[in-house]
Structure 1
């Protein structure tokens, strides 16, 4: 399987390059191997066939931009909450209030640590 620099492919690039690497297999088998849907496999393979690696770059998203960047959320979680809150750990709601963002803005989809 050929490796593709996932940074060049955007957030979903790591899965997309794995799909392209299974070029000889059926979409259903590839979807199981990569952990995605057959629709995504079909879409990624079609985009790769039409445009090569450039077809795997994430397209701009519609909608309003994020309110807060992930680095700001991470930096805040590395500090203890103010004593006046009476808690020892941040909750997403307390963190959102502290950062003055919506609850969704304070939640991150971080991978769980491998033990």
Structure 2
């Protein structure tokens, strides 16, 4: 769409430069201004759409990072909980091993 508008702008600009009829020059100036406005609107729309794509990609990346961090936290939390549960058994086993060594 933008390329089509740019072509029309170039065509209109060339016709303005060639034209010697004041009425045609006015028509081409009006068309030129109209096409210029369309180009600005299309450019803004294009930039807005690009911004939306970038924002979506950033959101997806942050979402992925949060999932990795949560998985990491869960892994270490489970490991700590298991270690806490086994702590008393580990102490008892260590004491029994020491008793056996001293005999």
Q: TM-score, normalised by structure 2?
A: 0.23
Greater relative contact order (Cα 8 A, min sep 6): structure 1 or 2?
2
Higher helix proportion = 2
**Larger gyration radius, structure 1 or structure 2:** 2
Q: TM-score, normalised by structure 1?
A: 0.22
